[in-house]
Amino acid sequence: MAKIVIDGVEYEVNPDNNLLQESLSHGLDLPYFCWHPCMGSVGACRQCAVKQYRDADDENGTLVMACMTPAAEGSIISIDDEQARSMREKVIESLMISHPHDCPVCEEGGECHLQDMTLMSGHNYRRYDKKKITHRNQYLGPFINHEMNRCITCYRCVRFYEYAGGKDLTVQASHHHTYFGRHEDGVLESEFSGNLVEVCPTGVFTDKAFSAQYARKWDLQTAPSLCTGCSIGCNITPGERYGSLRRVVNRYNSEINGYFICDRGRFGFDYVNSDERIKTPFARIDSKIKDLSDEETMTALEGYNNSEVIGIGSPRATNESNYALRSFVGEENFYAGIADNDNEAAHLILELSKDKAFHTPSIKEIEQADAVIVLGEDLTNVAARIALALRQSVRNKAKELAKDFNIPTWQDAAVKELAQHDRSPLILLSGYSTRLDDIASDSLIDSSEILTQIGAAIADQIASKNVSAPIDEEKVSQIAEQLSQAENPLVIAGTSSGDINLIQAAANIARALCERKGKPINLCLTVPEANSMGLTMMVKKENTLGVALKKLENGKAKKVVVLENDLFRRAVHADVEAALEKCEGALVIDHIATATTEKASLVLPSTAFSEHEGSYVNYEGRAQLSFQVHKNLDSALPAWRWLSADQFKSVEEITKRCSKELQGFAKLSGLLPELDHLVAGIKIPRQSHRYSGRTAMKANLNVHEPKQPVDDESVMSFSMEGVPLTKDSTILGASWSPAWNSNQSISKFQEEINGELKQGRTGELILERNSDGKYLEINNKKLDVRSGLKVVIAYQIFGSEELSAKSKSIRGRMTGAYVAVSPSDAEDLSLKQGDEVNLNEDEGRVIVCIRTKIKKGTAAVYCGDNEIDRHALGGIVTLNKCENKVSSHGIQGLIVSDLYEEAY
């Protein structure tokens, strides 16, 4: 720690930081644009000018940029100095020269950092009376609007884009014609492009879907919520107006998502507003639909309350709803609602998550890894936020170098210029070239069978055992060396490869490293969905979906209750079909129509993620609470409510019961906000103090102001009345602080910049590590002996997840199902790019996508939005060319780096 003086007041600071960061950490207002807490300083905007004095006797001082000056011991600065203030005012005046002042029609208005900083800097009247510079805007795809005239040239967008590994957004031209855009109109390729909306300090990049149905930040009803797009559990703030969910923005969590989320998380919420939502309970009698009254519903539900009913849980439902179903049918009759191989893998992951040899890293910890090996996971497409974190982890080498050269790590450009392409090791073992290949030190592409052998050989090498590898042994020993030498190695695997052997190999590598280094090793094992971990913790390992379907088919179970789950995505279609047809009754509780609700005899509408409060457990065993944002205006109820009659008065009661009764969930109740947070029992408002139009928004129906919906369950209210917990970030939806209307206001809630939220919580790690495991036996036998190409399952961030795939903007980015093959296999099979083929004669038609880096003999199959029955595919596939094309959509817009271009 060092001491510095700012405007006569002494502060304790970290001398490794710069003056801007420290000023903000101490709650001082100092305007800035180009600096970003996560991306450091470049000194472009000159907005954070302060006066620095040599010593106490120096009366003149010199102007310095706070973001480019270290907070060195004994520094004396003034933010308030007249010359510094005048400089900052001038900078704003310059920045605004060509700004269109279209705030009233700009989507950013009301949460615009430029507005805030203009006010803070004191620039009022425009003196510039010459011609403004104007730019042409570009079409950037379904997510983002481009309005370049608003640009103040802070360079944040291109810096973020580089941070996220994107290459198609660049800075072009120079002087005051500087332009930020693509080389031509077109879809922004980065999976993180949505963050531009938040990174841009003004309205150049705005959320297209939000703009189309626009509301001001202050008019949105918000609450702290969680993304349900994958197993990371990124924190988000959804915003609702007029009964529809309008947008999702990032909500800061220091351990998980920090400042950034992926585009699936940001744009995938729209299914909540879908026409396919189930609005009322209905029965299907002789394939006719009959809406049910409350009484009929209760009677119908009663028919499922007996011992011959089994329940199938859901990895996308809350702990509370899964627990309610488990209680409804009894633990013995509660089955995993996931594919059997996923279930086996998930249980292994759960077991490994209790092993003392390992540590499951949070996203923040992943960013700190200095050597990483990934086995079989296409992280960008299955757990995107991890991919973004790995892009930062490879920069640790640069930071290390910078330390040697006394370059502070916040000197972003200098650190990059020093390190150039020097990166920490990232070793990728995958079935096809992934979006992280550009930063990988090694990218080994093969079938999972071979990848497993490589992984096993690396583990053996680290453990100094005999090594037999299908690749060059030198490569194996080099990788083993890189991992062993690292301070903070990280091993990543997961369920998406569909091959449990890869998880076993990953665990063995981590165990060998643990033995070698004598400390727990970072082992990150991803699971598919938001609550895969919570579900797995609740369901017995042997209660697989396969068993459940068999029981229904052979009559050992009479009826089934399916919780928020489309079983056709979990098992062979024919098996699901048979089970649902044979059983006496299938009650499906879901919020949206699926292939499974189509087959149900009774359907009850449940609430979507933003319409209920509930808890989820992420890949690391971190339980988090997601608050209800808005009320469901139809008759949907949280699934647990349908299943627990009137047993629980509120969600909190059932959360507490879960916590008490379920093994491993003891810490869950710790997530619940404590009532003494409330001032005199007054609730925390979901609507901002500036919420407008309450008396007018329904005046077309009735001129009387409607009573606000009451929330009996939660500490939050559906109203603007109440006391916002300005100092308690546990229940922090949209952050706001006086003079800070934009998302940059989050700094006012952080203990220090990039630190934890004040009194906030990052969730509860509920798994305890208390077991001593051993090396796992890998049974890497080829099961499928048919001839053909070995199947690797491929994923797409936009399309591979069921719910987000129903979002309109996400649909704009989805491609049809395809099979990726090597150029050589394509030639052997006389296939051309874009041809249509049948998989195994009759298992669905897909588009051929020839990729140069695919291993000969393997085929990466992307099943689209369940277009292909992936569980029926098996390990081997044959491709049979179809003469005529029938598929409605092709693979236009597929973003891969190794697309084969045939020579003309």
Partner 1 sequence: MVVKPLTKNIDMSRPPLDISAYENNDGYQSIKAIAGGLSPADVLQIVKDSGLKGRGGAGFPTGLKWSFVPQGDNSPSQKYFVVNGDEMEPGTFKDRLLMEGDPHLLIEGIIIGAYTIQANTAYIFLRGEYKVSERMLKKAISEAYTKGYLGKNIQGTGFNLDIIVHTSAGRYICGEETALLNALEGKRANPRAKPPFPQVSGLWGKPTIVNNVETVCNLPGIITYGVNWYHSLTKGNDHGTKLFGISGKIKRPGCWELPLGIPIRELLEDYGGGMRDGLGLRAFLPGGGSTDFMLPEHLDIKLDYDEIAKVGSRLATGTMILLDDQTCPVGMVGNLMKFFAHESCGFCTPCRDGLPWVDEIFNEFESGRGTEKDLGILHEHVDYLGPGRTFCALAPGATAPLGSGLKYFSEDFKKHIKEKRCPYEH
* For partner 1, the closer CB: 98 or 750: 98
567: contact with partner 1 by CB under 8 A: no
Strand 309-312 versus strand 559-563 pairing type: parallel
In the block, residue with structure tokens 């006066």: 51
Distance of alpha carbon 218 from alpha carbon 742, whole angstroms: 11
* Interface region with partner 1, contact rule CB under 8 A, candidates 94-102, 307-315, 463-471, 762-770: 94-102
478: contact with partner 1 by CB under 8 A: no
Give me the least distance between CB of 15 and partner 1, in Å please: 16
Distance of alpha carbon 778 from alpha carbon 793, whole angstroms: 21
710: contact with partner 1 by CB under 8 A: no
- Of 54, 176, 403, 519, the residue at the interface with partner 1 (CB under 8 A) is 176
Contacts of 520 (CB under 8 A, 6+ apart): 356, 357, 358, 359, 514, 769
* Interface region with partner 1, contact rule CB under 8 A, candidates 43-51, 466-474, 576-584, 620-628: 43-51
50: contact with partner 1 by CB under 8 A: no
The number of residues in the chain equals 904
Give me the least distance between CB of 117 and partner 1, in Å please: 12
Give me the least distance between CB of 423 and partner 1, in Å please: 13
Q: Please name which of 126, 107, 112, 127 lies closest in space to residue 212, comparing C-alpha atoms.
A: 107
Give me the least distance between CB of 184 and partner 1, in Å please: 19
* For partner 1, the closer CB: 158 or 457: 158
In the block, residue with structure tokens 């580089």: 162
* Interface region with partner 1, contact rule CB under 8 A, candidates 166-174, 204-212, 477-485, 618-626: 166-174
Distance of alpha carbon 21 from alpha carbon 807, whole angstroms: 38
* For partner 1, the closer CB: 91 or 510: 91
Distance of alpha carbon 725 from alpha carbon 727, whole angstroms: 6
- Of 175, 288, 704, 707, the residue at the interface with partner 1 (CB under 8 A) is 175
Distance of alpha carbon 120 from alpha carbon 589, whole angstroms: 52
Distance of alpha carbon 881 from alpha carbon 174, whole angstroms: 51
* For partner 1, the closer CB: 417 or 473: 417
Beta bridge partners of 625: 615
Distance of alpha carbon 576 from alpha carbon 546, whole angstroms: 9
Give the three-state DSSP class for 285.
strand
- φ/ψ of 320, rounded to 5, equals -65, -45
Q: What's the token pair of residue 737? A: 């602080």
Distance of alpha carbon 402 from alpha carbon 145, whole angstroms: 37
Considering only residues 387 through 406, tell me which ones interact with partner 1, judged by CB under 8 A.
Answer: 401, 405-406
* For partner 1, the closer CB: 42 or 662: 42
Distance of alpha carbon 171 from alpha carbon 327, whole angstroms: 58
174: contact with partner 1 by CB under 8 A: yes
204: contact with partner 1 by CB under 8 A: no
Q: Please name which of 620, 593, 556 lies closest in space to residue 765, comparing C-alpha atoms.
A: 620
Distance of alpha carbon 459 from alpha carbon 465, whole angstroms: 8
What sign does the dihedral 62-66-68-71 (CA atoms) show?
A: positive
Give me the least distance between CB of 627 and partner 1, in Å please: 41
Give the three-state DSSP class for 837.
strand
- Of 173, 633, 679, 696, the residue at the interface with partner 1 (CB under 8 A) is 173
H-type alpha helices, 5-79: 19-25
Contacts of 131 (CB under 8 A, 6+ apart): none
185: contact with partner 1 by CB under 8 A: no
- Of 11, 28, 85, 90, the residue at the interface with partner 1 (CB under 8 A) is 90
* For partner 1, the closer CB: 127 or 707: 127
Give me the least distance between CB of 68 and partner 1, in Å please: 6
Per-residue binding string, partner 1, 440-469, x by CB under 8 A, is ------------------------------
Question: What are the distances in angstroms from CA 686 to CA 294, 610, 680, 749?
Answer: 30, 12, 18, 18
Neighbour count for residue 104 (Cβ, 10 Å)? 6
* For partner 1, the closer CB: 178 or 692: 178
Distance of alpha carbon 733 from alpha carbon 238, whole angstroms: 8
- Of 24, 30, 37, 46, the residue at the interface with partner 1 (CB under 8 A) is 46
119: contact with partner 1 by CB under 8 A: no
Give the three-state DSSP class for 371.
strand
* Interface region with partner 1, contact rule CB under 8 A, candidates 167-175, 208-216, 248-256, 646-654: 167-175
- φ/ψ of 176, rounded to 5, equals -80, 10
148: contact with partner 1 by CB under 8 A: no
* Interface region with partner 1, contact rule CB under 8 A, candidates 124-132, 297-305, 351-359, 376-384: 124-132
Give me the least distance between CB of 88 and partner 1, in Å please: 11
* For partner 1, the closer CB: 168 or 584: 168
Give me the least distance between CB of 250 and partner 1, in Å please: 27
Give me the least distance between CB of 182 and partner 1, in Å please: 16
Neighbour count for residue 325 (Cβ, 10 Å)? 30
* Interface region with partner 1, contact rule CB under 8 A, candidates 42-50, 104-112, 313-321, 512-520: 42-50
* Interface region with partner 1, contact rule CB under 8 A, candidates 40-48, 318-326, 440-448, 518-526: 40-48
Q: What's the token pair of residue 163? A: 């941070």
Tell me how many degrees the CA angle 346-347-348 measures, rounded to the nearest 5.
90
Q: What's the token pair of residue 221? A: 């009803």
Neighbour count for residue 296 (Cβ, 10 Å)? 14
42: contact with partner 1 by CB under 8 A: yes
Give me the least distance between CB of 91 and partner 1, in Å please: 5
Query: What number of chain residues touch partner 1 (CB under 8 A)?
Result: 44
* For partner 1, the closer CB: 21 or 360: 21
Give me the least distance between CB of 153 and partner 1, in Å please: 6
97: contact with partner 1 by CB under 8 A: yes
* Interface region with partner 1, contact rule CB under 8 A, candidates 13-21, 170-178, 463-471, 552-560: 170-178
Q: What's the token pair of residue 562? A: 């399916």
* For partner 1, the closer CB: 18 or 742: 18
DSSP 104: G
Give the three-state DSSP class for 457.
helix
350: contact with partner 1 by CB under 8 A: no
- Of 55, 127, 783, 904, the residue at the interface with partner 1 (CB under 8 A) is 127
* For partner 1, the closer CB: 49 or 227: 49
Considering only residues 404 through 423, tell me which ones interact with partner 1, judged by CB under 8 A.
Answer: 405-407, 411, 413-414, 417-420, 422
The one-letter code for the residue type at 84 is A
645: contact with partner 1 by CB under 8 A: no
160: contact with partner 1 by CB under 8 A: no
Distance of alpha carbon 731 from alpha carbon 624, whole angstroms: 12
* For partner 1, the closer CB: 45 or 734: 45
Neighbour count for residue 774 (Cβ, 10 Å)? 10
177: contact with partner 1 by CB under 8 A: yes
* For partner 1, the closer CB: 288 or 421: 421
* For partner 1, the closer CB: 406 or 892: 406
Q: How far is CA 659 from the centre of its chain?
A: 26
Contacts of 609 (CB under 8 A, 6+ apart): 225, 226, 228, 269, 272, 626
Query: In the complex, which residues of this chain contact partner 1 (CB under 8 A)?
Result: 42-47, 49, 62-64, 68, 87, 90-91, 94-95, 97-98, 127-128, 130-131, 133, 153, 155, 171, 173-178, 401, 405-407, 411, 413-414, 417-420, 422
